[in-house]
Chains A and B, each alone.
Chain A
């Protein structure tokens, strides 16, 4: 009772009241006691209580030209039942209809609420730090860029920003579905909507409320309903023809036999007409009217998609519209970008091959020292592998040779670190490395010290992705990369991808995707997965563009159709499972509703269905379809 709205509570009282009255009249004030005329009046009371608003709306909508409206159909059917002296049935049908509507209203409200709760990640206040160091609680909308806010343990980060002071673990579960907290310290960027778990953080705001991540995400999910799926459009179009057709059939079902009964002499009547009165046919026609209501069909489809999108966002997967969820379920080709998507996108030293008298440690030390001043990702990874802070006083005469590498004096020795071209230039006796990746050759005083292999490692869960995608129904997995053939081949083999295309420029990637689009089977979709950087054209060209690692990346949120909040490729398979489940439920609902309605229509035409069965075919089916649709919200089985 408590969680019903005022309107719903009123309706519940009306339902109970008229149900009690109906029972009293049915069992205690029977026709023998009150007489036929009195019966009519008696039943009018519960009928009025339960159905006045339906009758009122029917009349009002008719004057507005809305003929095949649900209220009108129910009103006509029950008034007709009344006219043929089926009083109890008329009241019961109206009662059942209203109960169904109430339940439907409740269920829809409930599923809206559960999505709203899911999206209740918008922080209400921010603790703004004043110039004198005092704190003031303000609306996040009033906080400007570069202002300093303090986030206490247990609070949500109100706006995107950078940590100035403090260490803490942030719970990103609401945004990413990821349960492992993220550690942050000074210099790290934090994203609005995360919950601060342990320490006090002083954060410098980098984005105003409107542009903050949490606002963007909420906006996206709230407006997902704008893009409707084909099955959603199908069912509304179907409803547009279904209702008038069934109403016309009802008219024919009543008129044709009635005319035949009056025109033809009793002796020449066909078997199915003999021994029937015109009121029987009217009754059958009224059953048709009840079944003709389209709402059960129409509501279950958007509700399922709504649930599916909500369930996906629980897992940190944002879907921009029902149509994308539908397309994802049909996806048979998945194209991946390599760097940042399947691989970590950061380089690390994966092998050290010293030559002659050099050791692994000395090889690395020379390289790290020589590359000491460079900001190139390769140099950064060398220093990271070296571990210690290079002693800059040991390095002099640094000379960067573009496209070749670096030469410098380390402890007075001339050290060169670079690619094959540099080795040729230095004319040393260098060796080729057979492993794929970026190779840094090192020489010291003209002697070859060996080489260091630097490569981009696949993400931890990348290996499982291909298998789980295949299990979810994907036929072909393709990797596109700007990297060398050798690297691409190694990654593709390690991950078990079906196809790879290497040494592609961004424009070539679009071309490859277009080629793959023509190769796929019709009625299936192609998804492209990228990290949202530099691949916006490809994301928009594919049937479904999936951007990953979107926390903090606006470009990705803008360009993609589906956004994965963290950068785990395994989420693609999760998204696919959710989409398939949603589509399965949508199909079940469509066929179930159409099937039951069809059966009752046929039974009704032959006089084998009662009006009770007809109401079940309408509201009962809607009830079951809604319960089924609510299953879309449950995604626990897919969470990692």
Chain B
């Protein structure tokens, strides 16, 4: 399943790159992009476990850039 989320307060381009790299490593995530200019996260992950994967994504982002909020 492919889904898009808006991000608020994603203030640094390098953090966006780091978030993207970290999200891609999460188990079950097929592909992910964090667009700094678009302030958007696009994620393609397993349908069955999508919600648990998203929880992990949120936790990961919190670690890298605590100011940035994923609007679910």
* Chain A residues, Cβ within 8 Å of B39: 112
Q: Which residues of A contact B18 (CB under 8 A)?
A: 66, 240
Q: B40 and A299: CB pair below 8 A?
A: no
Whether the Cβ atoms of B38 and A225 lie closer than 8 Å is yes
When distances are taken between beta carbons in the complex, the residues of chain B under 8 Å from A354 are none
* A228-B33 contact given A66-B64, A222-B38, A240-B21, CB 8 Å threshold: yes
Which of B14, B33, B63 lies at the interface centre, i.e. has the most chain A CB atoms within 10 A of its CB? B14
B40 adjacent to A225 (CB under 8 Å): yes
Inter-subunit contact B63/A105 (CB<8 Å): no
A262 at the B interface (CB under 8 A):
no
The number of chain B residues with a CB under 8 A from chain A is 21
Asked if A112 contacts B63 (CB within 8 A), the reply is no
Chain B contacts for A57, CB-based, 8 A: 66-67
* Chain B residue with the shortest CB-CB distance to A225: B35
Give the residues from 7 to 33 in chain B that come closer than 8 angstroms, CB to CB, to chain A. 11-14, 17-18, 20-21, 33
Shortest CB–CB separation between residue B38 and chain A, in angstroms? 4
Closest B-chain residue to A243, C-beta based? B14
Contacts of B64 in A (CB 8 A): 64, 66
- Interfacial chain A residues near B4, Cβ < 8 Å: 223
Interface of chain A residues 288 through 314 with chain B (CB within 8 A): 294-295, 298-299, 302-303, 305-306
Q: Is B37 an interface residue (CB 8 A)?
A: yes
Does A60 belong to the interface (CB within 8 Å)? Answer: yes
Given contacts A239-B14, A294-B14, 10 further A-B contacts (CB under 8 A): A64-B66, A70-B12, A112-B37, A222-B40, A225-B36, A225-B40, A228-B33, A298-B13, A298-B17, A299-B12
Q: Within 8 Å of chain B (Cβ to Cβ): is A226?
A: yes
Counting CB contacts under 8 A, is A279 at the interface?
no
Q: Are A226 and B33 in contact (CB under 8 A)?
A: yes
Indicate whether A108 reaches chain B with its CB closer than 8 angstroms.
yes
For the complex, what is the distance from the CA of A571 to the CA of B10, rounded to whole Å? 35
Contact assessment for A105 and B11 in the assembled complex, using a CB-CB cutoff below 8 Å: yes
Contact A239 to B38, CB < 8 A, known contacts A64-B63, A105-B11, A228-B33: no
Q: How large is the interface on A (under 10, 10 to 19, 20 to 34, 35 or more residues)?
A: 20 to 34
Which residues of B are in contact with A by a Cβ distance under 8 Å?
A: 4, 11-14, 17-18, 20-21, 33, 35-40, 42, 63-64, 66-67
**A270 interface hit (Cβ, 8 Å):** no
Q: A70-B12, A295-B13 are in contact. Are A225 and B33 (CB under 8 A)?
A: yes
Q: Which residue of B lies closest to A111 (CB)?
A: B37
Residue pair B14, A298 in contact (C-beta under 8 Å): yes
State the main secondary structure of chain B at its contact with A: mixed
Q: Contacts A64-B64, A112-B37; is A226 near B42 (CB within 8 Å)? A: yes
Closest 9 CB pairs of A and B: A225-B35, A236-B17, A299-B13, A225-B38, A306-B37, A298-B13, A298-B14, A64-B63, A226-B33
The closest CB in chain B to the CB of A294 belongs to B14
B63 close to A66 (CB less than 8 A): yes
Q: Is residue A522 within 8 Å, beta carbon to beta carbon, of the partner chain?
A: no
| Contact A108/B37 with A66-B63, A226-B42, A240-B21 known, Cβ cut-off 8 Å | yes
B14 near A70: Cβ-Cβ < 8 Å: yes
User: Quick one: which of A328-364 are within 8 Å of B by CB?
Assistant: none
Does any Cβ of B come within 8 Å of A65's Cβ?
yes
Report Cα–Cα, A224/B40, bound state, in Å: 11
A438 to chain B, nearest CB (A): 47
Residues of A within 8 A of B36 (CB): 225, 299, 302
Name the residue of chain A whose CB is nearest to the CB of B17: A236
Q: Does A302 lie within 8 Å of B13, measured CB to CB?
A: yes
* Shortest distance between the CB of A65 and any CB in chain B (Å): 7
Contact B37 A303 (CB under 8 A): yes
Residues of B within 8 A of A225 (CB): 33, 35-38, 40
